[in-house]
Amino acid sequence: MVDLKTTLCGIELDNPVIPASGTFGFGYEFAELYDINVLGSLSFKGTTREARFGNATPRIAECASGMLNAVGLQNPGVRAVIEHELPKLRSCFHKPVMANVSGFSEEEYVETVAMLDTQEDIGWFEVNISCPNVHGGGMSFGTSPEMAGQITRAVRRVTKKPLIIKLSPNVTDIVSIAKACEAEGADGISLINTLLGMRIDLKARKPLLANKTGGFSGPAIKPVAVRMVYQVYDAVRIPIVGMGGIESAEDVIEFMLAGATAVEVGAANLVNPFACRDIIADLPHVMEKYKINNLKEIIGGAH
């Protein structure tokens, strides 16, 4: 009997598979399709202090081996999440969840985390300093060690819950940014968020997305993500949540060998709403195929 359990920042998961923020709503929507308690956890839709409509449309574009999105952090705001979304999620999911938080200033990150910190079912904060689809915030905080460290330090003061910082791959040195977050009190690192991309409409001769650029996700980005997880694992002592193009149980094993303690599945959920469920169901068979008895034992095994 294989053991799928893993421990992320002191909290044990039944398995390492977590739907990525922005691809799974607030969870209860998928509970209409299957029992989402099979998941290790879930990272709910990126939440900001105030409600956001998001970017103008069109904000989704297909491309080879992936997709572009420029949704722009559409969400109802932290108060509505606390009052309406989390109670609905509690009714169908009975494990700690990951609160994904975004902001446009240090103050906004701090206020949003402080408000969510009162919710008992939130096990971790995933602080997103890596969104490429908004102006004046998001990725701008995650492109330098100094800014990443500053946000980490500020948020660390208002919560004792595990703090995971989600990093952008759109940088020249991911390692220095991860180390800065660790130095300022981060308990974990999530990587990678989407790569910055663009498509152009040949007939209209203009970008397909109203935002012009968007976040590129899907299987095409997996080699970049695996490389960054591998590099950061060598540089920090805190756990890594790996993501980027995961579609199968084999992909989960690859990320864990690179150094991930848990993984997040993103774009695959938009193609197949049962993706996470199917990956979890297939994990024991793939573990047996590669003679793996315990997932915890393979973390960083490729180093």
Q: Tell whether the model's pLDDT for residue 115 goes beyond 90.
A: yes
> Over 80: is that where the pLDDT of 72 sits?
yes
Q: What is the mean pLDDT of the chain?
A: 95
CA–CA separation, 3 vs 13, rounded Å?
Answer: 11
211 in a structural domain: no
* Domain contains 246: yes
Separation of alpha carbons 25 and 29, rounded Å: 7
Q: Of 102, 48, 99, nearest to 77 (Cα)?
A: 48
Please report, for residues 90, 219, 255, 275, 297, the alpha-carbon distance to residue 246 in angstroms, rounded to integers and kept in the order given: 27, 7, 9, 10, 20
Is pLDDT at 137 greater than 60 in this prediction? no
Helices (H), the chain: 78-80, 86-90, 106-116, 145-156, 174-183, 222-235, 249-258, 267-271, 275-289
Residue at 230 is within a domain: yes
> 29 in a domain, yes or no?
yes
What's this model's pTM, rounded to 2 decimal places? 0.96
Mean pLDDT along residues 110-119: 98
Number of domains making up the chain: 1
pLDDT at 141: 78
Judge contact between 65 and 122, C-beta under 8 A: no
Distance, in Å, from the CA atom of 181 to the CA atom of 126, rounded to the nearest integer, reads 12
Pick from 230, 213, 212: which is nearest to 222 by CA? 230
Kindly state whether residue 210 falls inside one of the protein's structural domains. Answer: no
The answer to whether residues 167 and 148 touch, using CB atoms and an 8 Å cutoff, is: yes
The amino acid at residue 97 is V
Which of 106, 191, 103, 120 lies closest to 161, judged by CA? 120
Tens digit of each residue's pLDDT (9 = 90 or more) over 273-299? 999 999 999 999 999 999 999 999 999
Separate counts of helices (H) and strands (E) for the chain: 9, 15
Is pLDDT at 158 greater than 80 in this prediction?
yes
- Answer whether residue 135 is part of any domain: yes
- With respect to residue 62, please indicate whether it lies within any of the assigned structural domains: no
Task: Determine the distance from the C-alpha atom of residue 115 to the mean position of all C-alpha atoms in its chain, rounded to a whole number.
Answer: 20
What would the mean pLDDT of 15-22 be, rounded to a whole number?
97
CATH number of the domain at 13, please.
3.20.20.70
Assigned domain for 91 exists? yes
How does pLDDT run across 167-196, given as a tens digit for each residue?
Answer: 999 999 999 999 999 999 999 999 999 999
Q: What is the pLDDT of residues 202-254, one digit of tens each?
A: 999 999 999 999 999 999 999 999 999 999 999 999 999 999 999 999 999 99
pLDDT of residue 130: 75
According to DSSP, residue 47 is labeled B
Instruction: Point out the residues that are catalytic.
Output: 131
Residue 132 has pLDDT above 80, yes or no: no
Taking the C-alpha atoms of residue 246 and residue 12, their distance in angstroms, rounded to an integer, is 21
Residue 166 clears pLDDT 70, i.e. is over it: yes
Query: Please, which pLDDT band fits residue 140 given cuts at 50, 70 and 90?
Result: low
Q: What gap in Å lies between CA 50 and CA 244, rounded to an integer?
A: 28
Name, in order, each residue with C-beta under 8 angstroms of 102's C-beta and a sequence gap of 6 or more. Answer: 46, 47, 48, 73, 109, 128, 131, 134, 137, 138
Domain extent at residue 20: 6-55+72-198+217-298
Structure tokens belonging to residue 43: 């990272």
Find the helix packing angle between 145-156 and 174-183, rounded to 10°. Answer: 30
Share of the chain above pLDDT 70, in %: 97
Tell me the two tokens of residue 185: 């009190």
Which is it for strands 66-69 and 60-63: parallel, antiparallel or unpaired? antiparallel
